[in-house]
Amino acid sequence: MEEMKAREEINSLREDLNKYNHEYYVLDQPSVSDAIYDQKLHQLKELETAFPHLITADSPTQRVGGEPLDSFNKVQHQVPMLSLSNAFNENDLRDFDRRVKDGLGVEEVTYVCELKIDGLAVSLRYENGVFTQGATRGDGTTGEDITSNLRTIKSIPLRINETETIEVRGEAFMPQRSFLALNEAKEENGEEPFANPRNAAAGSLRQLDPKIAAKRNLDIFLYAVGQWESGALTAHSERLEHLSNLGFKTNPEWEKCATIDDVIAYVNGWVTKRSDLSYEIDGIVIKVDQLVYQEQLGATAKSPRWAIAYKFPAEEAITKLYDIELSVGRTGVVTPTAVLEPVKVAGTTVQRASLHNEDLIREKDIRINDTVVIKKAGDIIPEVVRVVTEEREGTEQPYHMPSQCPACDSELVRLDEEVALRCINPNCPAQLKEGLIHFVSRNAMNIDGLGEKVIEQLFEANLVKSIADIYQLKREQLLPLERMGEKSVDNLLQAIDVSKSNSLEKLLFGLGIRYVGSKAAKTLAMHFETMNNLKAATYEDLIAVNEIGDKMADSIVQYFSEEEVQQLVDQLKDLELNMSYLGQKPKVEEIADSPFYDKTIVLTGKMEELTRPEAKERIESLGGKVTGSVSKKTSLVIAGEEAGSKLDKANELGITVWDEQQLIDALNEMEK
């Protein structure tokens, strides 16, 4: 096929597929069968394969997810993404109404009420009608570039009929059916299920591999505008309608309210109807409708004065507390948990609730066989609120925490005036198992396929009792185990072998040294460079490191003084685990002379010699700050091949522009 004909056919197929996507995912009114959609998508893929230079970012074929990323770039929000202040009852809403009217000096204000979707706030940027960048809210000023992951959400249009630069905002979320399917799959794989759809959505969009996000079936509702040059619209309600007309998916349940009484009626209606929705909501957002009023009211440093979020009260239920069970964590903390008569709370059946510690049990006078009130804190974690003492019949039994560990029978102690009771036996089986689960977790050694249930299975089979045992597992030991086929065993052993090459900070965090989190582990690894150097470090050496305090320094010295720890480290070294920091280490003595020092730098276009993550890491190691968008604060733009709108904007603002070779020359000069 000639290129001109192919281009025409590709454009026609894209137009049809974008139309079908909008009908199916936004309007919920499909006009063609899945078979017809799949046939046209297949035709488009074949044409783009034959003419790869005709592939564009807004093609429907680009929703499957690209190559995995090494990290997320930072994005500066040109208009801050502020959080909302909260209202918890009718009086709070009436106070908000009074403040709005007093601030404006008027007696009547129209409000728009919208469902508060329980997901992840994101921004979408369109340039000349094409979706060019998507970002998380972050701290409101700086977010993370998650464009590749957002591109996989089929309800997000990749092209709109708008030539102006426009940035819109909304809530990405996971529908309940997707959430249930995801957790079923995770449980089958022996992985920890997500606690709620919000965590699942956030976790999906912060995956470095966009193909994982593509499988999670996320959705989105758009509800606001960040940057928009058009001044034709005068009300928030008009903006919602215009967003819908542009092809964005907006929540259809929004409503204009002429008075605060109407607002309260709307809120009360959804308190009971929320369980009927196919997605989670955690409240109602109330906004002043008139845009001119919004501008007059302005905002505080944290939140706009013209909007408020009504948070639904935590749903409570009454049930019976039959028993109190104890669990031992990896640090030895013994945690009591209430065993309850099953009761439904906030849409799920609850049978267990956290009791936190012995002091809380005493303070609330919780007894075995008590009738108790429970709720879900933040609609997530069940907890006992109070005892219904008037229901007591005299058979209730006060509870006393044991003096011995429930897992190993060692004496429990309180350290450093802590509230928690601890088991300090280093060979406690419960601690060993929890320590192994922590070691293989995503932020530690990240061993794919070795989730909590698999660790428990290996532990019960006496195949792993220490970290070193993981690296001595044999194929013939694993094959007889339940749900361990040949392919899954081979994949698991390969993942274990790959983890040996992790940088030192992953191993340090995985070891579970008290007070050493993932950030401190990287700081230590970067500073000391090798495990041997860190093992030999004194208290004085450690506290001299930025961000390492007294408690952490003491803990590290104590940890490496233990003979068992020294043996473990030697054993892991013999098993060929990497013991060195593999990241880029800043050359502190040269950094102030760097051309990147204290500069804000943007990378754009295709790099030939460097990958973008490599360039970012090397620039930041020399004191530069790499961001995702060009603004007046940008100091330097590095433009590779096919650089687009960012290069144009840099030229408009008179910002210095380098090509890739200039960047490489400067990096090489500084890194000599």
Q: Report the distance separating Cα 585 and Cα 492, nearest Å.
A: 32
Query: Is the CB of residue 152 less than 8 Å from the CB of residue 218?
Result: yes
The dihedral region occupied by 247, where left means phi > 0, alpha psi between -120 and 50, and beta the remainder, is left
Q: 166-193 burial string, b = 16+ CB within 10 Å, else e?
A: bbbbbbbbbbeebbeebbeebeeebbeb
Is 440 in contact with 455 (CB distance < 8 Å)? yes
Residue whose C-alpha is closest to residue 362's, from 407, 411, 322, 419: 419
Residues 183 and 576: their CA atoms lie apart, in Å, by 35
Instruction: Provide φ and ψ at 382, rounded to 5°.
Output: -70, 140
Reading the block at residue 77, the tokens are 């929000």
Residue 603 to residues 1, 70, 610, 628, 637, Cα–Cα distance (Å): 37, 15, 11, 7, 6
The answer to whether 320 is a known catalytic residue is: no
Burial class (CB in 10 A: 0-12, 13-18, 19+), 385: middle
User: What tokens appear for 27 in the block?
Assistant: 């309007």
Q: Give buried/exposed letters for 587-613 (b at 16+ CB in 10 A, else e).
A: eeeebeebbbeebbbbbbbebeebebe
Euclidean distance between CA atoms 34 and 36, whole angstroms: 6
Alpha-carbon span 652 to 659, nearest angstrom: 17
- Per-residue HEC secondary structure of 399-440 comes to CCCCCECCCCCCEEECCCCCCCEEECCCCCHHHHHHHHHHHC
DSSP-derived pairing of the beta strands 307-311 and 86-87: parallel
Catalytic residue among 116, 433, 616, 649: 116
By the 8 A CB rule, do 270 and 251 touch?
no
Question: What one-character-per-residue DSSP string does 171-231 give?
Answer: EEE--HHHHHHHHHHHHHTTPPPPSSHHHHHHHHHT-SSHHHHHTT--EEEEEEEEEE---
Structure-token pair, residue 413: 């102690």
Helix ranges (DSSP H) in 299-418: 358-363
369 Rama class: left (phi>0) / alpha (psi -120 to 50) / beta: left
Residues 6+ apart with CB under 8 A from 583: 503, 505, 522, 525, 526, 617
| Tokens coding 637 | 């733009």
Q: Are 472 and 575 in contact (CB under 8 A)?
A: yes
CA-based max dimension of the chain: 89
d(CA 257, CA 310): 15
Q: Rounded to whole angstroms, how far apart are CA atoms 109 and 259? A: 7
Decide if 201 contacts 221 (C-beta within 8 A). Answer: no
Give the 3-state secondary structure of residue 586: coil
Residues annotated catalytic, as ranges: 116
